[in-house]
Structure 1
Amino acid sequence: MIRMLMLALALPVSASSWAAPRRDAVLLREFVYQQAPYPQSHASTIVQTRNGALAAAWFGGTHERSPDVEIWFARRDAKGWETPRSVANGIQPDGTRLPTWNPVLFQDPAGPLHLYYKLGPSPQSWWGMVVTSPDGGRSWSKPQRLPEGMLGPIKNKPVVLRSGAWLAPSSTENGSTWEWKLHFERSEDSGRSWTQTAPVPVDPEARFDAIQPSILFLPGGKLEAIARSRQGVLVAAQSADEGKSWGKLFAVDLPNPNSGTDAVTLKDGRQLIVYNHAAQQPDTPGKGRRYPLNIAISRDGVHWRPALTLETEPLPEGYAYPAVIQSADGLVHITYTWNRQRIRHVVVDPARLAG
């Protein structure tokens, strides 16, 4: 553990040292909306629907954990983003309300659009919910609770495996000590039923508390999960059996200020991650600063190189919880929280990225 904490402190965290010279890689930078009927928004997700349109979702309300927090959704057409609308809330049968959390959009390759989200008073006691849309987000089904014990994708998108199974990256934040663990939820029948893996093992000599993984495809049929940790670094684990079992967590060469990330395997085989290139002091349990916001590129998912700096200006709430996809035309689309006030959308040409 001491060696890993020293690694976290030794990692370069200067924005200038990781600034990318290829700013022409950014093709579009916009806000999904300019005004909203709530003061705060967070935890966006983005997807390309079966008809090619982009769609995004996030939670918005008075503040995180507030009972009035709902899931908001917007589609983007040739004219830009449509006016966002609420598609899920925490109103209970008796009229009381609970906050909603961390929406995740997922497009069934042969079926409806899925929107997974969490419902409950806190991350320690929430549960998984899902709504589906047969028409790319124009209309939605009634909310359904996921099977007992299933949380669904906790922040980042599921993937479709070579076998056709769906694999959802998930995690728990349980116990009075805020114990964090990664696990995965698998469906062999397009989301109608799910099974859960055992927690990803942790080396007792280099213990990591990790949540919110993303799934990458490595050469040779292996998978990698890369995740946020409380130890000042991003951590990863690998699987050789389509995510049924996982090796122990290990540190990769990127810092992490205890903030969410997202990653995607590009069509050319490179791995791309969006994250805050800033370290958290190992003796400070709270969150570190959430700026700058960066893109890094890797071939093996372990050794990463700078590719682009998306944001550098210090803001009180920074730039957080990115989501990333590669659309059918090869472009990379990223959404993220901008100062807890709005959701920003950036389009990047990966062929122009450094690294």
Structure 2
Amino acid sequence: MLKKYIAVLVLSCTLGMGSIYAQSATPWRKGIITDEFIYEKAPYKECHAATIAQTPAGLVASWFGGTKERNPDVCIWVSRYENGKWTEGVNVANGIQNDSLRYPCWNPVLYQVPKGELILFYKIGPKPSNWKGYYKTSKDGGVTWSAQEALPEGYLGPIKNKPVLLKNGTLISPTSTEGEGGWRVHFEMSADFGKTWTMTHVPEGDKTLKAIQPSILFHKDGRLQALCRSQNRTILQTWSADNGKTWSPLEKTNLPNNNSGTDAVTLKDGRQLLVYNHVLPPGKLAKGARTPLNVAVSKDGIKWYAALILEDSPISQYSYPAVIQTDDGLVHFVYTWRRERIKHVVVNPKKLKLVEIKNGEWPKVEGYTLPEVKGETKDL
């Protein structure tokens, strides 16, 4: 009995030391409250492009899942956070056109109308260059959904990141196209929560700058800032000083981009928070590995400070993050975990330790080195 007790004690101490070592070895984890998978097993092989929203009934998350991205069996799945855990994912939309034709679904985006319905935007089509925008609504926090509706011809809805609501009641959907005209950013605006829409484009400036998938931030001086994924090895930005009616030409920021999706949110304290892969592709390549997955914070949207590393394994990929801040002030992230599962991380933004990002390089910390990533990702 004594030997068994000693063995258990030694094991406990070993595990404890391992936990302490893990925390000391990853200093970029301050402020994290919850780190969990939304599900462990699913009836499909791959998943991607998660989104999250807070509803009066609680958190709701969505993503697309199927055999593989672009496969016709890819559907939209939804899970709700109830009684301290996530419900089993439910298939709420598919791309069946008729008895002989089926397309994959893409990039769901959730938006909770204040004192109204939960909207689920998504795309259906063989590929991003010719997909179409659709939506469903829920009156009970994602338990049941309306019939599928198509957005007006030429409108796609929010392409990856959440819409934002202006003080004047205008809902702006950050969106983009990838068709014959190349990568182009535009914004779709609605004054009646999606019943009718208008559109505004980012004017063409430097023709070498190509961007998609913007996310919108609010600034204290009234301006809007949109941060975008690009093919230019850097996050691109555009600004609006008239509530999104017009935008400035795209320009480079001082943050790298690996040609993968990002997301951002304006916090209640006025700071800007960005989640992205802080990865500069090697050489002249436009695409880089989708790890690590980083979080940065800024007061002005220009000078950024390193805050968190959500994932740093050399095993890619950790990508396509979405972020919101809930009424209690906590920040919620959801993202793709190796295309196998969807991760949910909760952070207290007041506990973040910030270090300035200089010359576009993530700050070095004594005793900690990011794992080396070998090879380039082939992910879309």
Same fold (TM over 0.5): yes
Cα distance change on mapping 1:282 and 1:170 into 2, 3 Å:
farther
Match of 2:46 among 19, 40, 43: 40
Whole-angstrom CA distance in 2 between matches of 1:88 and 1:138: 14
Could you list the per-position Cα deviations for residues 121-153 of structure 1 after superposition, in whole angstroms to 9, with x for gaps in the alignment? 010000100000010000000111100100000
Percentage identity across paired residues of the two chains: 54
Q: Which whole-Å CA distance do the structure 1 matches of 2:350 and 2:246 have between them?
A: 34
Gaps of 5+ in 1: 1-18
For 1:261, the aligned partner's letter is T
Distance 1:247 1:216 in 2: 15
Give the match for residue 207 of structure 1.
208
Instruction: Give yes or no for contact 1:223–1:240 (8 Å, CA) kept in 2.
Output: yes
Match of 2:35 in 1: 29
Partner of 1:197, secondary structure, is: strand
What is the alpha-carbon distance in structure 1 between the residues aligned to residue 353 and residue 301 of structure 2? Answer: 16
SS of 2:97 mapped into structure 1: coil
Check conservation: 2:28, 2:309, Cα contact below 8 A.
no
Aligned match of 2:197: 194
**TM-score for the superposition, normalised by structure 1:** 0.90
Deviations 1:201-249 (A, max 9, x none): 2422x73100000000012111000011001000111001111110111
Q: How far apart, CA to CA, are the structure 2 residues paired with 1:138 and 1:304?
A: 39
Residue in structure 1 matched with residue 274 of structure 2 by the alignment: 273
> In 2, distance between residues paired with 1:183 and 1:226?
12
CA distance in 1, matches of 2:323, 2:131: 25
Q: Is the Cα contact below 8 Å between 1:22 and 1:352 reproduced in 2?
A: no
Any idea what SS the aligned residue of 2:30 has?
A: helix
Cross-structure match for 1:105: 110
Q: CA deviation at 1:94?
A: 3.6
Counterpart in 2 of 1:296?
296
Contact 2:30 2:353 in 1 (8 A): no
* C-alpha deviation, 1:20, in angstroms: 7.5
> Residue 231 of structure 1 contacts residue 280 of structure 1 at CA under 8 Å; is this kept in 2?
no
Q: Which amino acid aligns with 2:50?
A: S
Once residues 114 and 87 of structure 2 are traced to their aligned partners in structure 1, the CA distance between those partners, rounded to angstroms, is: 24
Equivalent-residue separation in structure 1 for 2:140 and 2:260 (angstroms): 33
Q: Residue deviations 1:254-311, cap 9 Å, x none?
A: 11100000000000000000000101246334x3100101000011112211011111
1:32-75 superposed Cα distances (whole Å, 9 cap, x missing partner): 00000100000000000123x11100000010000000000000
CA distance in structure 1 between the aligned counterparts of 2:29 and 2:105, rounded to whole angstroms: 36
Indicate the structure whose relative CO is greater, using CA pairs within 8 Å and at least 6 residues apart: 1
| Residue 170 (structure 1) aligned with residue 175 (structure 2) | yes
Question: TM-score, normalized by length of structure 2?
Answer: 0.85
CA distance in 2, matches of 1:24, 1:292: 16
Larger radius of gyration: 2
Aligned with 1:226: secondary structure?
A: strand
CA apart distance, 1:96: 1.9
Amino acid at match of 2:88: T
